[in-house]
Structure 1
Amino acid sequence: MKRKIVALLTTAVISTTLIFTGCGGQKKSTTGGSEGKTLVYGQGADPRGLDPAYVDDGESSKVICNVYEGLLRYKKGSTELEPALATKWNVSDDGKEYTFDLRKDVKFHDGTPFNADAVVYNIERQIPPKVKKDMPYAGFTYGDVKKVEKLDDLKVKVTLKEASTPFLANLAMSLAAPMVSPTAAKKHDGNLNQNPVGTGPFKFVEWKKGQSITLERNEDYWDGKAKSAKVVFKFTKENSVRASELMTGSADIIDGIDPNDVKKLKDSKMKIFEEKGMNINYMAFNASRAPFNDSKLREAISYAINKPELVKHLYQGYADEAKAPMPDFIPGYNDKLTNHEYNPEKAKQLLKEAGKENMELKMITYSNPRPYNSVGGQKLAEAVQNYLAKIGVKAKIDVYPWKEYKTKVQQGEGDLLFYGWIGDNGDADNFLSLLDTKEIESSLNAAKYSNKEVDDLLSKARKTPNGKEREDLYKKVQEKVMADSAWYPVSHAKSMAAYSPKVKNFELHPTGNAYLKDVEKE
C-alpha cells in the first residue's frame, strides 16, 4: 500500500508552465444502484460545519470531500491535478487569466444544474464585497481573484490581480474550493454548514450532533456510483474506545490511532494504513501580546523542551521530529536549519536576562486526537508543562472540546496553544502562509505572528514560477521564522488509520482526507 512520496510533488511540475490544459476524466464505476452496504467511519469529533466556505478543520473536510467537488481534484494517492467539474483549463501568458470549460449534464443533489452561474456564485461569495469574516480559507484560496465572469453556460473566466503559482492547486482543495448548490445556499441564508448540497458521490441525510453523520449514495453521480450504499461518520472522542469499536465490528474504519493501540489492533487482525504524513504538529506562542511578543522569551521556552524525548515518548515511532514548519519532502524545504536543541540552562539564562524567572503562563489545548497529534492535545500540553516546570515556569492548562477550542484560539485566549496543519496541496505556500500577517484575521495564523519581511517573501514566492528561485524564497522564509521562534515545531505524524479486513480499496489521501467512493465492505 506504500506510495512514492514523489507523487505529492507533481503539482510543482504542472504549475511551472503558465499555460496548462487538462482534459478527460476517470473510468466510470459499473456498480449498480441498489448494491452496497453501509460503511462506518470512526473519527474523534464532530465537524465544525459542512459548508466548505466556513470551516478549516479536518473533521469537516473528511465529510465535505465526499459530498462536494471542485473544478479540479487530486489524482489518487498524490497531489497531481486532474479534471473534476472543469474538463479543461487554460492560463494566459501573464498568469492572470484562467479560463475553465465546465462538465456538461452535472446536477447538484437538489437538482440544481451545475453551470457557469454556479461557479460565479461560489467564487463571488468568497471575495469582496460578499466575503464574510468567518470564511477562514477565502483569502487563502481566492485572495488574488479580481473578478469571475460567465462566458457562456459552460465556460468561466477568473481574472487575478497578479500571477499566483499555487492558484490551480488551491482549486482542488476540499475547503473553500468545492462548489455548493446556489439554490440551497440562498435557501439557507448563504450558509450550508447544517444542510450540505454538492455534486459529489454521496448526499447528506442527517447529522446527529455528538453522534454521527449519515450520507447516502448519489445515484446520479457523473463519475460512476459509489460502491457503498451509505456512509456513517461516527464520532467517538476516546482513542481506545474507537479502537474497540473497530475490533468489535461497530466501526469499519477509524482514524486518530493512538500508538498504544497499534499492537492490539494488529493482534486482532485489523489492517493498518501507515504513510509518511504531510502535516505539522506545533506549539504556537501568542505573539500578539506580552509576554510572547518578545522573541527572546519564545526562544527561551523553545530551549526548555527535549523534543527527541518528547516525540519518542508520546508517539512511539509513529511521528518524526519536526525541524521546520513543513515536511522535508515539500519543494522548498530548508534542510540547513538548526533546530533549538534541548538546553534548559540556556532557557533559564534567557529568562533571567528578560527578568522573567518564575514566570507563570496559561496554555490552552484541545481534548480530542488530531491527524497530526494522535494522542490529543492534553497529553502534549502536559509533557510541555513538565519541561517548563524544570526551568521555573509554572504553566496552567485549560482543555476544550475541538469546536470550542477553535473559538478560543480565534479570540486570542492563552499564552501558549497547540495546533497543527494537514497540507492541502503539496505546495510550500500552503504551510508557510500560516505565518503570513494577512492570515491572522482568517484565524489560519493561530500564533498571530507578524513579520513584514516574511510577508514580503511569501508574496514574492507566490508570483514566482516553480523552480529553484521560488524554492529559495521559501527557504529564506523558514530561516526567518525559525530564527524568530515564531512556532515551536514538534512533529510530523505518520498518516494512519485502521480498518477491518472486510473493507476493500481504503487508503488515506496525502491531504488526510478519506475519499470513500470506491471503498466497499464485503
Structure 2
Amino acid sequence: MLKYGGALGAFGVVAPALAACSGGPDSTSDTGGGGGADSVTAVIGYGNDQSWDPTLTASAFSVASNHHIFEGLLDTDPITREPYAALATEPPADAGATTWSFTLRDGATFHDGKPVTADDVVFTFDRILDPETQTLTRGFFAGWLKEVKKTGDNTVDLVLAFPFPDGLSRLTLAKIMPKHILGKSGAFKDLDTGLPEVTIGSGPYRMTANQPLSNTSFEAYADYNGPRKANFKKMNWLSIVDAAPRVAKISGESAGAQIADNIPYANVKQLEQDGLTVEGGAGMNHMFLLFNTDRAPFDDVRVRQALHYAIDTDKMIEAGLKGYGKAASSFLDEANPTYRKAKTVYGYDPDKAKALLDEAGVSGLKVTLMASTVSWIADCIPTIKASWDAIGVETTLDPQETSALFTKLDQKANYQVVASASNPNQLGIDADLILRYNYTADNIWMGYSRWAGASEAKNLFRLMDAATREPDQEKKKQMTQEYLDVVAENAVIYPVVHTELVTAWDADEITGIQPQPYPGINLLKAKPA
C-alpha cells in the first residue's frame, strides 16, 4: 500500500500508502526553473516521494502533477469538475448509454514523440480493471465498466455494465499511459518512483527531473495539441512539508516562489500584509477518526459514538483551525451536491457521551490516539485529549509522521483509534466515488478498521451497490443520502470537522489561479502576469 502514496494524502494527508502525504524533511531546492516571465516556482505542502503511477497513487503531489503530465479520454475542470474532451475529440453523445464510443485527438503524441493509439487506451484500462494488479483506481471503475475494446487505430468503445453517467467525470482518473514504454518488464516500478524516462504522458508538460523530498521540474511539451496548452516554458514544484519553511519560501524578501498551497491558517493575515493573494476553498477536506473494530470496546458502536459526542468541536475550530472549519454534520461536506444533514449528528454533548459509555458497560477506558503530524491535525488533537479526559477517558496522544503511521496500519498494528486528514475531492466530488474510497468490502480502509465482515457493513455495501445502479438521478440521490445515515450511525471512519484549504500567490507575477478545496495546485489555466 505504500505505493498508493496517500490514502489520506491524496486527499490531504493520508497514508504513505494512502496519504497525500505530509511527511519527509524540509525541501527547498530551486533546481529546474525558477521565477520569471516564462517560468513558475510553486511550493507544495506534501511529499513528492510517493508513487507516480496514475493508476495507483493518491499522493497529493503526484496526483496534481499528473494532471499536467498525462491526459484522460476526458478530463475535468479542477474547480467545477465538469468533464471536457482531452485525448478524446468529444464526450459521448448519450451519457446514459451502455456503450461510450471515443475517437482520439488527431496528432496526439506522447512526450517521446510516439503517437497515442487505441492500443494505449486499452492497455491502460486493462491495467485498471485487472484484479491481480490491485490498482487504486479499480475501485472507481470495476463496478460499472465491463471492458474497453479497440474499434480502430484511434477509436475505442467503453462497454458499461449498466447506464452510469457519473462515470464520465471519473475518466480523468484513467490517465492514458504509453504501452510501448510501460508494457516492458519492470517499467511500472520505474514509473512508481517517478523516473522521468518513463513518467511520460501526452499532456502539456513533461517531467524533466524528480528529486524525492526536494523538487520536481517540468517543461512545456512543444508538440502538445490539446485543449489546455502550457502557459509557462518551465515549472519547478518544491516539496516543503513543514509549515514554516513553506511560508518563508513565498513571503518576504527571500521569497523564491510565486504560489504555495496548504497555507497554515495562522499565516493568512501575514501573507496578505506581504501583498499576496490568499484564498481558501471549502470542500471534503476533513479530520476523521478511524476505529479498530477488532479491539474491544471499539467494536461497540455506542463507544465509537460516545467518543465523537465528547469532542468539543467549537473549541477545536477556534483553537486549532482559527475558524477555518465546520463541525461535520454528514460524511459529506455541506457544499457537496448530494449533502443532506445526517440523522446522527455528533454535536458536542459530554453527558450523552458518558451515558453511552455507561450503557455499553465501559468504565476506566484508556485510549492511545495515534495521529499524523500534519500541522493542523497537530493543532486539533489536544482538544480531543481534553474532551475525552473530561468524560473520564484517559487519553494519550501519539503523533507521528504520516508515512510511519500508515506503515504501521499496513502492517496490521493493533491500534485503538487514529486521527488523520483526508480529502477524496482530489479524485472527484460524486458521493459514490467518495464513499467507495473508504467503504467497500475489499477496500484498504476496511482492512484498517476490520469492519467489512460486520452485518452492518454488509448491509451498507448492498445499499451502496443499489444506489450505484439506480438510473433515476433524484432517486439515486435519495438512496445515497439514506446509506450516508448508516455511515454516520456506525462511525467507523467518520469526519470530526471539515476544513478549508488555503492557497497563496503573487498576483503581480501569476494570474488565472483558482484555489482548490483539495490538496495541490492546477496551473493549466494560469499565466504569467
TM-score by length of 2: 0.83
Q: The residue matched to 1:514 in structure 2 has which SS?
A: coil
Residue pairs, 1:194-209, within 5 angstroms: 194-195=194-195, 196-209=199-212
147 and 408 in structure 1: CA distance in 2 versus 1, 3 angstrom threshold: same
Q: Which residue number in structure 2 is paired with residue 21 of structure 1?
A: none
| Structure 2: 5+ residue stretches without partners | 1-35
1:445 CA displacement: 7.4
CA distance in 1 between counterparts of 2:397 and 2:114 reads: 48
Q: Which residue of 2 aligns with 1:30?
A: none
Q: Cα gap change, 1:76/1:170 in structure 2, threshold over 3 Å: closer, same or farther?
A: closer
In structure 2, how many angstroms separate the alpha carbons of the residues matched to 1:240 and 1:510?
A: 22
- Deviations 1:288-334, CA, capped at 9 Å, x for gaps: 44332221110111121111221222112222222111112323322
| 1:11 alignment partner in structure 2 | none
Contact 2:40 2:257 in 1 (8 A): no
Q: How far is 1:406 from its partner?
A: 3.5
Q: CA deviation at 1:52?
A: 0.9
The answer to which of 78-87 and 141-150 deviates more is 141-150
Query: Once the two structures are superposed, what CA deviation does each residue of 1:445-493 show, in whole Å capped at 9, x if it has no partner?
Result: 7545431221111111111235321111011012111122233422222
Q: Match of 1:105? A: 107
Listed one character per residue, the Cα deviations across residues 178-224 of structure 1 (whole Å, up to 9, x for unaligned) are 11222232344334122311111111122212111111211111136
Change (3 A) 1:144 1:479: same
What is residue 10 of structure 2 aligned with on the other side? Answer: none
Which position in structure 2 is the counterpart of 1:385? 385
Is the contact between residue 461 and residue 473 of structure 1 (CA under 8 Å) also seen in structure 2? yes
Is 1:46 the counterpart of 2:48 in the alignment? yes
Given that 1:72 and 1:83 are in contact with CA atoms closer than 8 Å, whether structure 2 keeps it comes out as yes
Query: 410, 428, 433: which is aligned to 2:431?
Result: 428
1:3 aligned residue: none
* Corresponding residue of 1:226: 230
**Corresponding residue of 1:415:** 416
- CA–CA separation in structure 2 for the residues paired with 1:480 and 1:278: 19
Aligned Cα root-mean-square deviation (Å): 2.5
Structure-2 residue corresponding to 1:90: 92
Residue 188 of structure 2 corresponds to 190
SS at match of 1:41: strand
Alpha-carbon distance in structure 2 between the residues aligned to 1:156 and 1:448:
40
Q: Which residue of 2 aligns with 1:217?
A: 220
1:255 to 238, 261, 266: 261
What SS class does the counterpart of residue 325 from structure 1 fall into? coil
Instruction: Determine the structure 2 residue equivalent to 1:9.
Output: none
Change (3 A) 1:274 1:333: same
Kept in 1: contact 2:38–2:233 (CA 8 A): yes
- Alignment equivalent of 1:475, drawn from 466, 477, 481: 481
1:511 Cα shift?
A: 5.1
Alpha-carbon offset, residue 388 of structure 1: 1.4
8 Å contact from structure 2 (residues 262, 503) kept in 1: yes
State whether residues 165 and 466 of structure 1, in contact with CA within 8 Å, keep that contact through their aligned partners in structure 2.
Answer: no
The DSSP-based 3-state class of the residue aligned with 1:277 is: strand
State the SS of the aligned residue for 1:172. helix
State the alpha-carbon separation in 2 of the partners of residues 113 and 288 from structure 1.
Answer: 51
CA distance in 2, matches of 1:74, 1:487: 28
Q: 1:518 to 1:345 in 2, by over 3 A?
A: closer
Name the counterpart of 1:179: 176
CA distance in 2, matches of 1:294, 1:57: 33
Amino acid aligned to 1:65: H
Greater Cα offset, 406-415 or 302-311: 406-415
> Aligned residue for 1:313?
319
CA distance, structure 2, for counterparts of residue 222 and residue 35 of structure 1? 22
CA distance in 2, matches of 1:288, 1:59: 33
Per-residue CA deviations over 1:47-103 (Å, capped at 9, x if unaligned) read 522111121232321111111111111236311111111112437797432221211
User: Does 2:125 correspond to 1:128?
Assistant: no
Aligned to 1:275: 281
Q: Which residue of 2 aligns with 1:366?
A: 372
1:519 aligns with 2:526: yes
Flag the 1:162–1:412 CA change in 2: closer, same or farther, 3 A: farther
User: How many residue pairs are counted as aligned between the two chains?
Assistant: 477
User: Which residue matches 1:74?
Assistant: 76
Pair 94,251 (structure 1): closer, same or farther in 2 beyond 3 Å = closer
> What secondary structure is seen at the aligned counterpart in 1 of 2:475?
helix
- Show the counterpart of 2:15: none
CA contact under 8 A between 2:372 and 2:401: conserved in structure 1? yes
Give the structure 1 partner of residue 240 of structure 2: 236
2:291 and 2:417 in contact (8 A); partners too: yes
User: Residue 357 of structure 1 corresponds to which residue in structure 2?
Assistant: 363
Aligned pair in 2 of structure 1 residues 225, 436: CA closer, same or farther (>3 Å)? Answer: closer
Q: Could you tell me which amino acid in structure 1 is paired with residue 123 of structure 2?
A: Y
**Alignment correspondent of 1:329:** 335
Match in the other structure for 1:58? 60
SS at match of 1:171: helix
The residue number in structure 1 matching 2:39 is 37
1-structure distance, mates of 2:237, 2:446: 26
- CA separation in 2, counterparts of 1:253 and 1:386? 36
Cα displacement (A) at 1:410: 3.4
Tell me how far apart the structure 2 counterparts of residues 471 and 316 of structure 1 sit (CA, whole Å): 33
The CA distance in 2 between the partners of 1:253 and 1:444, in whole Å, is 37
Question: Which sits farther off after the overlay, 135-144 or 78-87?
Answer: 135-144
- Residues 1:152 and 2:155 are matched in the alignment: no
8 A Cα contact 1:436 1:445, kept in partner? no
Match of 2:22 in 1: none
Normalized against structure 1, the TM-score is what?
A: 0.84
Q: 1:460 to 1:321 in 2, by over 3 A?
A: same
The whole-number CA distance in structure 2 between the counterparts of 1:270 and 1:35 is 18
Is residue 56–residue 137 contact of structure 1 (8 Å, CA) maintained in 2? no
Q: Is the 8 A contact 2:44 2:241 kept in 1?
A: no
> Which stretch of the first structure deviates more once superposed, 88-97 or 473-482?
88-97
1:146–1:160 CA contact under 8 A, matched in 2: yes
**1:313–1:412 CA distance, 2 compared to 1 (3 A):** farther
Structure 2: distance between partners of 1:334 and 1:327: 9
Shift, 1:35, TM fit: 7.0
After TM superposition, the structure 1 = structure 2 runs for residues 476-495 of structure 1, keeping only pairs within 5 Å, are 476-495=482-501
| 3-state secondary structure, aligned to 2:283 | coil
Rounded to whole Å, the distance in 2 between the matches of 1:294 and 1:488 is 15
